Amino acid sequence: MKCVDDFRLQFGKQELVPIIIGGMGVDISTAELALEAARLGGIGHISDAMLPTVSDRRYETHFIKEKLKQYKYNIDNSDKSAVKFDLGHIAEATRLHVGKTMEAKRGEGMIFINCMEKLTMNAPRETLRVRLRTALDAGIDGITLSAGLHLGSFALMEDHPRFRDARLGIIVSSLRALQLFLRKTAKLNRLPDFIVVEGPLAGGHLGFDMDWAKYDLHTIMAEIYMYLQTEKLNIPLIAAGGIFTGSDAVSFLENGAAAVQVATRFTAVHECGLPEKVIQEYIKATEEDIEVNTVSPTGYPMRMLKNSPAIGSGIRPGCESYGYLLDGSGNCAYIEAYNREVATHPKAKKISVMEKTCLCTHMRNFNCWTCGHYTYRLKDTTRRLPDGSYQILSAEHVFRDYQFSIDQKIALPDEKP
């Protein structure tokens, strides 16, 4: 019977443990978590979502304060088109986060950055260009392009000196999305170095409509694998979404996957960015506590715990401080939903907006508890403590469990002294 450690992910001459910890914004996949994956010989992700905010929290910068000062006059205005990001600040925040993480890297593994195209930041091309190129400047090992089709992203890096040596990959949820990407980037003569195929059981935003339950990762993987074989394209395929045990991972590795990308099990570890009391919410969740809903203003369905404080919260849009989801014309679906609610209840002191949520503010404050489908199994991966709470794990424990476990077994942590 095989375990994950019987396989290796080959990138050129480099051999890695075929376990990738997926990007989890906003700073849920922290530098500390990514560094553990790299130390243990796999791949970890940091996230490029809302880096100016993350930098303020981690590196004592003041990007948000400065932005708010500049745009405070606009807070009561529903037209947010004037609220722009300072490209210098984005670059500085990216340089700090990527640079410091890469400096701290030890071991044989790699660190990638997860880049969400859907963070349109009221100037999609300009801001994305700075984010991608600065991450390369600051020495990131690779970039995973996610959430959005990224049809123009390779071109934004085309003349960067590291364009051909950094590992650049894409997340897709269908063969069609992959074909579109390959067609669009064909003239650059640069294929992606890896393709993450993310199925419908993943956490975060889903690349499916609300009929996600009709789809299945094994089937999509097989379709894409066949296509690459037919086209004689030798690109590592990485399976993601609902891979909960080492044996689940082996079932993909034996069927053409070069690695697996996992995330949900790493939401129950000390190194992840979630506050401890939120981790407890994840671990104690039951299957009924989890839903896929449409409250994200991005337009993509998102999976989350039903008791997330973000759901139904009617806070004023936080665009003057954040504004990461403003499209190229300064619109966000939350602003529209909020304004409709205010117009319906003009005298109310507090309103509730069910349709959409202010995702920037709530992700920043860890109030949107996005999670994978199998979050309800987290309680089987740890011990219940005498006070009723659950023991939080170490990233190393979970990583090694994926790497060495067989027969659908999950290793419990050592008992706390």
Closest to ligand FMN by CB, 28 vs 393, is: 28
Residue 47 in contact with ligand FMN, rule: CB under 6 A: yes
Binding ligand FMN by CB under 6 A: which of 30, 94, 146, 403?
146
Give bridge partners of residue 46 from the DSSP assignment.
Answer: 113
In order of 23, 35, 294, the CA distances from 308 in angstroms are 20, 28, 14
Helix, strand, or coil here: 354?
coil
Q: Which stretch binds ligand FMN (CB under 6 A): 19-27, 87-95, 215-223, 283-291?
A: 19-27
In order of 338, 340, 350, the CA distances from 347 in angstroms are 14, 13, 9
CB of 81 to ligand FMN, least distance (A): 26
Burial-class residue 33 by CB neighbours within 10 Å (0-12, 13-18, 19+).
Answer: buried
What is the pattern of x (binds ligand FMN, CB under 6 A) and - over residues 95-114? -------------------x
Select from 261, 115, 262 the least CA-distant residue to 195.
261
Residue 262 in contact with ligand FMN, rule: CB under 6 A: yes
What residues from 265 to 294 belong to the interface with ligand FMN (CB under 6 A)?
267
In order of 33, 206, 239, 266, 406, the CA distances from 244 in angstroms are 18, 18, 12, 10, 12
CA dist 90 and 134 (Å) reads: 9
Residue 23 in contact with ligand FMN, rule: CB under 6 A: yes
CA dist 196 and 85 (Å) reads: 30
Residue 22 in contact with ligand FMN, rule: CB under 6 A: yes
CB of 18 to ligand FMN, least distance (A): 14
The label of the residue with tokens 């999670």 reads 371
E-strand ranges in 265-337 read: 290-293, 302-305, 312-313
Residue 264 in contact with ligand FMN, rule: CB under 6 A: yes
Give the CA dihedral 73, 76, 82, 84, nearest 10 degrees. Answer: 80
Binding ligand FMN by CB under 6 A: which of 142, 242, 318, 323?
242
Closest to ligand FMN by CB, 49 vs 51, is: 49
Neighbours of 415 (CB within 10 A): 8
Residue 85, CB-side half-sphere exposure with 13 Å CA sphere: 32
CB of 72 to ligand FMN, least distance (A): 29
Q: Are strands 302-305 and 204-205 parallel, antiparallel or unpaired?
A: antiparallel
Residue 198 in contact with ligand FMN, rule: CB under 6 A: yes
Kindly state the number of chain residues that form the binding site for ligand FMN, as judged by CB under 6 A.
Answer: 30
Residue 53 in contact with ligand FMN, rule: CB under 6 A: no
Q: Which stretch binds ligand FMN (CB under 6 A): 8-16, 237-245, 339-347, 384-392?
A: 237-245
CB of 51 to ligand FMN, least distance (A): 12
Instruction: Report angle CA 143, 114, 291 to the nearest 5 degrees.
Output: 150
Write the DSSP symbol of residue 393: B
Binding ligand FMN by CB under 6 A: which of 64, 132, 147, 279?
147
Residue 25 in contact with ligand FMN, rule: CB under 6 A: yes
Residue 116 in contact with ligand FMN, rule: CB under 6 A: yes
CA dist 158 and 398 (Å) reads: 37
Binding ligand FMN by CB under 6 A: which of 42, 44, 109, 241?
241
Neighbours of 132 (CB within 10 A): 27
Write the DSSP symbol of residue 192: -
CB of 412 to ligand FMN, least distance (A): 19
CB of 4 to ligand FMN, least distance (A): 14
Closest to ligand FMN by CB, 192 vs 241, is: 241
Helix-, strand-, coil-residue percentages of the chain, each rounded to 5: 40, 15, 45
CB of 343 to ligand FMN, least distance (A): 32
Whether the Cβ atoms of residue 13 and residue 416 lie closer than 8 Å to each other = no
CB of 199 to ligand FMN, least distance (A): 8
CB of 196 to ligand FMN, least distance (A): 7
CB of 29 to ligand FMN, least distance (A): 7
CB of 401 to ligand FMN, least distance (A): 13
What is the pattern of x (binds ligand FMN, CB under 6 A) and - over residues 353-392? -----------------xxx-x------------------
What residues from 78 to 97 belong to the interface with ligand FMN (CB under 6 A)?
none
Residues that bind ligand FMN (CB under 6 A): 22-25, 28, 47, 49, 114, 116, 146-147, 171, 198, 201-204, 240-243, 261-264, 267, 370-372, 374
